[in-house]
Structure 1
């Protein structure tokens, strides 16, 4: 475990001032804030908390709450030391059929498909209130997706009550000894050739160039497939995969309409003279949508995408362009609903960093994207029965659908 220095009072003030400057200059999502949100008042309240915090953890949690108040998935604060103090989460819980449901588990007492009804004797949503105030997202669905992914926000020990009356003791300090059960996550790009002729290419992310390179190679190796299904579930993005788009797109397609803050000293000075300087950027530069023409050697067979709420950021950029170019059907569940190139500020000696989203993106026709995401052409929601039976019904239905195009 890497040892970091705790920020002293001056360091905390510097981190807070750096956050204030970056948000005031670069934050692109003022229009998405709730009516009446007062950034200056919120910052002053945060600064009091941050400077009076009795320890590192309290300071970091206060800073997370401040960033979370901006309600944007690409604007957040991170403390690596807090993350290292707890191991990985031994289970994955997300909303399925509108109930908090175990999707994967390394604990013998928790099974995929179990519904969580209480935690420490309280209704789940009530117990989670203190957790969720540290996680800033543009929509309730995105907030739900992220809620159980940060173990350092949870108590080290708590008890989960399930819908069949069991009480399961959770100890996050104890490493699980069971292998993970439930629908597995892809860790590398893999191609699965099904008996029905569908080639399923699973792509875990776009945060490492090797994934896009492997995906392009996989596309070039499926000449005889009846159809290709790109499985992008839980692909949380990275860098927009332009080479992969070039390998598959057969029609012209548009990108997003982008809005990004502009800072013009003369304009700001004029506003300050009249006393009406906005708290957050409102002068925006708009660009796009750009049109991209297809490459003549792109793969031309049947194709579809399978996405879910964990398909985020650059993965959504990819799905949006795929859909705009009418390349095939988008199947599954709505995507995460947040993208935007972040401005990063890092404090290596403390193991801390933050990001501020510098772009607010819209669909090519100007419709809102942030907080909504890419909607599937055919809805295939995850169901509890497939979790209980360890059957990937989403994938089966998606394969049937792509063949019928």
Structure 2
């Protein structure tokens, strides 16, 4: 099929047959975009601005909505461009019922705080920070008791014994700060996130607030973890 001398493909009608949806190549990006044309006359309207094009789409059973799939992936958050592209995508699709984020294979970079502020609707507590159960310097302090003079005052000796007991399993703990959501998140629809074992560091920082606030459904494998 052709339209305005352009080849169109994947034409589909809604149940009521009043419109025709189809994919056609965008002249600028050379990517397939989704158009809808009324069957009683009038020009087709472009309804997507997907940078990587539209791969597939489907009408809802009542013909009121169209779901589409595009692969605007962010391979990492190391380049600020990827975060900016994701935010631009949200701005262009604020009325979408569902958006799927695919962060499989995302090795991290810089924590995408601006992207989170565009999505989060509830306050959350950031990562708690704590040390390992053994710290080198305090363990060295604990060893001082082994080198004190036997004639040392019993009070001093008791103090050193107490220090020794304390420093055997020291831990430093700092609770995470409370992060408040933006007054006006860009996208408030349903979120689904695809994750895998290669999602690490800043990618984990992106997932954690979405999980603890219940903002997104996360599908996939256990992630790698955050380096802090």
> Which TM-score band (shorter chain)?
0.5 to 0.7
**Which structure would you say has the larger Rg?**
2
The alpha carbon displacement at 1:234 in A equals 0.4
Please state if 1:233 is matched with 2:120.
no
Secondary structure at the residue paired with 1:202? Answer: coil
What's the CA shift for 1:283? 3.3
Shift of 1:322: 0.7
Cα distance change, pair 192–300 in 1 and its aligned pair in 2 (3 A): farther
- Partners of 1:192 and 1:289 lie apart in 2 by 40
Structure 1 gaps, min length 5: 1-188, 342-405
- Aligned twin of 1:176: none
Deviation, 1:258, is: 1.7
Q: Is the 8 A contact 1:323 1:329 kept in 2?
A: yes
Describe the SS at the equivalent of 1:284: coil
Name the CA distance, whole Å, in 2 between partners of 1:321 and 1:282: 31
**Are residues 294 and 192 of structure 1, via their aligned partners in 2, closer, same or farther at CA, if it must alter by over 3 Å?**
farther
1:118-171 alpha-carbon deviations (Å, 9 max, x no partner)? xxxxxxxxxxxxxxxxxxxxxxxxxxxxxxxxxxxxxxxxxxxxxxxxxxxxxx
CA distance in 2, matches of 1:260, 1:202: 35
**Distance change (3 Å), C-alpha of 1:269 and 1:339:** same
Which residue number in structure 1 is paired with residue 216 of structure 2?
328
Secondary structure at the counterpart of residue 131 of structure 2? strand
1:309 corresponds to: 197
Alpha carbon RMSD of aligned pairs, Å? 3.0
- Structure 2 residue corresponding to 1:223, chosen from 91, 94, 111: 94
Q: Whole-Å Cα distance in 2 between the matches of residues 285 and 192 of structure 1? A: 49
Work out whether residues 191 and 218 of structure 1, in 8 Å CA contact, stay in contact via their aligned partners in 2. Answer: no
Alignment of 1:9-28 (within 5 A): none
**In the alignment, which residue of structure 2 is the partner of 1:38?**
none
Indicate which of 265, 268, 284 corresponds to 2:171. Answer: 284
Q: Does 1:195 pair with 2:83?
A: no
Q: Pick from 61, 67, 77: which aligns with 1:206?
A: 77
What 5-or-longer segments of structure 2 have no aligned partner?
Answer: 1-49, 59-66, 147-162
Instruction: Tell me the TM-score normalized by structure 1.
Output: 0.33
Alignment of 1:64-213 (within 5 A): 193=54, 194-196=56-58, 197-198=67-68, 200=70, 201-213=72-84
Query: CA, structure 1 residues 214+313, in 2 after alignment: closer, same or farther (shift >3 Å)?
Result: same
Trace 1:341-352 onto structure 2 (pairs within 5 A): 341=228
> What is the alpha-carbon distance in structure 1 between the residues aligned to residue 221 and residue 108 of structure 2?
16
Residue by residue over 1:192-241, the C-alpha shift from the partner in whole angstroms, topping out at 9 and shown as x without a partner, is 54414245442111122222122222221212323110110100111211
